[in-house]
Amino acid sequence: MNDNGGRPQAKDVLEFISANFNVDYRPSNIYRLLHHLIFSWITSRSRHPNPNEEAQASFKKLPVGNDPSHTKPLTTRSS
């Protein structure tokens, strides 16, 4: 895994455990160990290497349905 994002792999966890706890595991046992410790394999979303700051700022200004400042009265269709 690198500092720019991505998902950690079993080898990354293996290296971390070995370096910090001086314990060696086989790669096949890393997932079992993490499951036993109730770790979830959910990771954050990676960042784009070349983000468009202007587009992101414009997107943030769009009205959102769950934002109270952008609500409209609810209308119903009559049949």
- DSSP secondary-structure letter at 5? B
CA distance 25 to 41: 18
Q: What's the pTM?
A: 0.45
Residue that wins the pLDDT comparison between 76 and 13: 13
The SS3 call for residue 2 is strand
pLDDT (0 to 100) of residue 71: 60
Query: pLDDT by residue (tens digit) across 12-29?
Result: 889 999 999 999 988 888
Comparing CA positions, the residue from 35, 40, 47, 37 lying closest to residue 5 is 47
Cα 78 to Cα 50, 72, 74, 75: the distances in Å are 48, 18, 13, 10
Q: What's the mean pLDDT when you consider all of the chain?
A: 78
Cα 48 to Cα 41, 45, 52: the distances in Å are 21, 9, 9
Confidence of residue 39 (pLDDT cuts 50, 70, 90): confident
